[in-house]
Structure formats: C-alpha cells, structure tokens
Amino acid sequence: MEISHFLTSARIKTLTILCVFFASFSFLAPKSYAENTNHDHAEADHGHEQEKKGFDITGFIFHHIGDGHEFTIWGGDKEGKTNWVGIYLPVILYTDNGLVTFCSSEFARNDDGTKIVEKKGQKLVKYHGKIYYAADQVNDHGAYIVYDDEHHATNKRPLDFSITKNVLSIFIGFIVLLLIFTAVARGYRKNAGKAPKGIQSFLEPIILFVRDEIAIPNLGHKYERFMPYLLTVFFFIWFMNMLGLVPFFPGSANVTGNIAITMVLAIFTLVIILANGNKNYWGHILNPPVPWWLKPLMIPVEIIGIFTKPFALMIRLFANITAGHILVLSLLCLPFVFNAHAVAGGSVIFTIFISLIELLVAFIQAFIFTILSALFIGMAIEEHHDH
C-alpha cells in the first residue's frame, strides 16, 4: 500500500487534533514529578538548616528537569548579580475571586515565597514552582508560607492553568510536526508515483517502519484504523525526546520526563482500548475462562489489569527519560562533586558518550510506547478465532 494513503489531508487533520489534545490536557497537571521532588528537597533543606557550600548540584539538576513559569535561555544569578535572559510565561489562575491572568515577570523570578503579587484583592506567592495564596505573616525564613509538622507548605492554592515551560515546548513541537507533515503530504500529492525527495525520503522509512513492524503485526488487517494515532504518538514522543536533549532554547524542556504528560498519553491509549474492545475482550475480563470457583478472584484481577497496562506505559516513559536527564546532568557536575579541575576532561567525555546513547534512547522509548500501545489495542480488538 502506498505511503501517501496515510498522509492525506484527513490524516494530517487527525494528527493535528491529537497533538492539540496532548497540549490541552497538559494544562491540567503541568507540574512534573521532578518539580515536586525539588520542592520536598528544598523544604528538607529549610528544616535541617543545611549550609550550602559552593555550587548547588541538586538544585541545578532539579531546576533543569523540572517545569517552571519561566523559560531560561541564558544566564542566571550569581553573587547577587543577575545576567538572566529568558522568556516570562503567562500565569493563568482560577482563584476564589475568579479568573486571574498576568505575566510571571511580576514574581521577578522569586521562588522562595517572599514576594507577593496582588490580584483582585488576593495575595499570591510563588514557592518552589507552585503558586499559593500568601499567608498573613512571614515564617522564620521570611516567606509567606505556612508549614506542617513535616515541613510541607499548607497554604491554599488556586487552580493553575498557566502556560509553563513544558506547555510552551509542546506548542513548539506541535507547530514543527504540523509543518513537517503538511509539507510531506503536499509533496506526495505533487509527486505521486515518483521517488520521495528531501524530508519525504527521511520520514517514509520511519512511517513504513511504524506500519510494518508495529501496526500490522499487532493489529492485523484492522491496522489502518489506528495508524493516525500510532504515528502521532510515535513522532510526538520521539520529537519531544530529541528536543529535550538540545541544551538551549527551544530545547532543554523535560516534556516526556513529566509524569503528567506521560499520564495523558497513557490515558489516550486506555480510551482507545476501552472504546474499541470487542465482545471477546470484555468476555475474557468479566467471564474469564477459568473454573467457576476461581472467577471471584480472577474477575477483579482482570479489571485491575485494564488499568495496570496504561500505568506501566506512563511510568516506563517518565522514568527512563527523567533518569537519562539526571544522569547527563550528574556527569556534567562531576568537577563540582570532586572539587577538582582535573575531572573536567573525563566529565565532558562521559557526558558526550551518554548524550549519544540518549539519542538512541529517545527513539527506543518512542518505539516501546508505540508498540506496547499497539499490542494492548490489538488484544482488545482480536477475534476469538485469532487465539
């Protein structure tokens, strides 16, 4: 079957709609696990009054893999001087007094809860990447934050729908993918029957790979119905992984290392499974082929299995991408760990080596997520005689 069959305007529209859904759902939970870990680590530092000497390695790593309301392009703060260059992103909050929007520049990159921004009669502070209602009085650290016994912030929070760094990266990825695949589809319409040229010659083997090695073996003759989703999720994950390896703007965002993003991707797979599951699929779950006395045990197990599959998809992608970013950044910090310039050469060599491996991992993780999604969907649509 010709590759142009999958790149008609209708298919491109499907890819576009799915990418928009990915970006839209990411507003619901834009903060990553890494950011929450950074939050807990910072609070523990306050509780123990740990003295920081020299370069803050942990803060450096979690700052780069976490989400944020600013997108750093260059520079930072050092010894009271600021040479920061970046993009302040829109803050969109639903508060007790209604919708509030403003630019994150009003926080002036303050992240310790000491700077108040007043909107609609409400006082807001930003503390470790999250926006809270300010407490009436400052705590021992000069922040308008109230802690519980475990040193966690207990301030009430507004609903946060802000365009964070990860959301901006998704929009960038969406636009680039839309332009690429629109150009490829246009090229196939103009050069029908001719050898592919340019970007077409690069993407065609990959699209055929997804079709021949992922879709057809797992979905059989019904594969065409699910090709738009499989192509979308494969190229979305792959491109976001690659963009995250670029150490400067518009790269460096840890999109697929954000558990909220991987959760949304896994939910899409789950919805497709549930929407397309046939009589045989549901019969195997609600009436498993086991002795009657085992059914009360197996039915709950089968129902739990419906959700463990997308859960595994979510955790696998999130953990592998986040671990890769942490490893690269940790190797980069080796001279500061050993406090020796002699280590710098080895640090650079190891960092380059792992970064090259991460280029392969970026593709592999997109492949694994896509093939497991196809496998799970195939299990839901297979007929009884296919066993």
- Do the domain assignments include residue 177? yes
Number of domains in the chain: 2
At 254, which helix (H) or strand (E)? none
Asked whether residue 293 falls in the same domain as residue 271, the answer is yes
Asked whether residue 337 falls in the same domain as residue 283, the answer is yes
Mean per-residue pLDDT, 347-367:
91
Percentage of the chain modeled with pLDDT above 70: 83
- Do the domain assignments include residue 196? yes
Q: How far is CA 60 from the centre of its chain?
A: 20
Asked whether residue 188 falls in the same domain as residue 244, the answer is yes
pLDDT of residue 85: 84
- Do the domain assignments include residue 90? yes
Asked whether residue 158 falls in the same domain as residue 172, the answer is no
Mean per-residue pLDDT, 358-362:
92
Asked whether residue 153 falls in the same domain as residue 247, the answer is no
Asked whether residue 353 falls in the same domain as residue 205, the answer is yes
Asked whether residue 151 falls in the same domain as residue 219, the answer is no
Range of the domain at 102: 77-162
Task: Report pLDDT digits (tens) over 139-151.
Answer: 878 888 888 777 7
Residue 311's pLDDT band (cuts 50, 70, 90): very high
- Do the domain assignments include residue 247? yes
Q: In this structure, are residues 356 and 245 in contact, taking their beta carbons and an 8 Å threshold?
A: no
Mean per-residue pLDDT, 78-86:
69
pLDDT of residue 196: 75
Task: Report pLDDT digits (tens) over 228-247.
Answer: 999 999 999 999 999 988 88
pLDDT of residue 70: 87
Query: What are the helix (H) ranges across 333-387?
Result: 334-338, 344-381
Asked whether residue 117 falls in the same domain as residue 184, the answer is no
pLDDT of residue 30: 42
Within 10 angstroms of residue 139's Cβ, the number of other Cβ atoms is 15
Residue 384's pLDDT band (cuts 50, 70, 90): low
Q: What is the Cα–Cα distance from 101 to 99, expressed in whole angstroms?
A: 7
Please say which residue of 142, 162, 182 terminates a domain.
162
Asked whether residue 105 falls in the same domain as residue 197, the answer is no
pLDDT of residue 78: 60
The count of residues in the chain is 387
More confident residue, 188 or 104: 104
Asked whether residue 115 falls in the same domain as residue 234, the answer is no
Task: Report pLDDT digits (tens) over 247-306.
Answer: 878 878 889 989 999 999 999 999 999 999 888 889 888 888 888 898 889 999 999 999
Smallest CA-to-CA distance from 66 within 28, 111, 11, 23 is with 111
Asked whether residue 190 falls in the same domain as residue 152, the answer is no
Q: Which residues, other chains included, contact 45 with Cβ-Cβ below 8 Å and sequence gap of 6+? A: 52
pLDDT of residue 142: 83
Please say which residue of 162, 182, 216 terminates a domain.
162
Task: Report pLDDT digits (tens) over 195-209.
Answer: 777 788 888 899 999
Please say which residue of 128, 162, 196 terminates a domain.
162
SS3 116: coil
pLDDT of residue 249: 81
How many alpha carbons fall within 13 Å on the CB side of residue 119? 24
Report whether pLDDT(35) > 50. no
